[in-house]
Amino acid sequence: MIKVVTLLTRKPGMSREAFIEHYETHHRKIGEKYLSGFAVKYQRRYLTVADAANHAPTELPFDVLMEIWFPDQPTMEAAMALIASESAQEEIVADEERLFDRDLIRSYTVEEYESEMPATELGT
């Protein structure tokens, strides 16, 4: 399994609520259009500053952590080739310009490790 993580920042002057509304009602559908048949999961995680996290900044460096899982490298490459096509880029970029600060978009592939955590009395 291969995961691509993209950090996205909303366009300056756009409220968090308007950003999420547009992403979830419009932009995600563009993603689904091009990822269908390739990705096994497409998820958006919208960030907020955690009150309990004493180390958290008051301003976030990005607004959403977008994750896409692919079953393998060839499938990811095929999806990326489709997304890179001229017609797909016209549609994607036009909507990104309405929604994101495109200069701040960052994408990475992720190698994950997971810990098995034992249950505690509080956690049972």
Q: Which amino acid is at 29?
A: K
User: CB within 8 A of 74, min separation 6: which ones?
Assistant: none
Q: Does residue 115 sit within a domain? A: no
Q: How far apart are CA 78 and CA 111, in angstroms?
A: 20
Q: Is 2 left (phi over 0), alpha (psi -120 to 50) or beta?
A: beta
User: What Rg do the C-alpha atoms of the chain give, in angstroms?
Assistant: 17
Does some domain include residue 122?
no
Separation CA 24–CA 18 (nearest Å):
10
Task: Tell me if 58 is assigned to some domain.
Answer: yes
Q: The CATH number of the domain where 31 resides is what?
A: 3.30.70.100
- The one-letter amino acid at 42: Y
Q: So what's the pLDDT on residue 49?
A: 78
pLDDT digits (tens, 9 = 90+) for 90-117: 999 999 999 999 999 999 999 889 999 9
**Looking at the domain assignment, is residue 124 inside a domain?**
no
* Residue 118, domain member (yes or no): no
CA 47/CA 56 separation, integer angstroms = 11
- Residue 23: the pLDDT is 98
Give the tokens for residue 45: 């995680």
Strand pairing report for 2-8 and 41-46: unpaired
pLDDT < 50 regions, the chain: none
Residue 105 burial by CB count (10 A; 0-12/13-18/19+): exposed, middle or buried? middle
Asked, for residue 97, whether it belongs to a domain, the answer is yes
Q: Is residue 57 part of a domain?
A: yes
**Is residue 120 domain-resident?**
no
Structural domain count of the chain: 1
Domain holding 41, by residue range, is 2-110
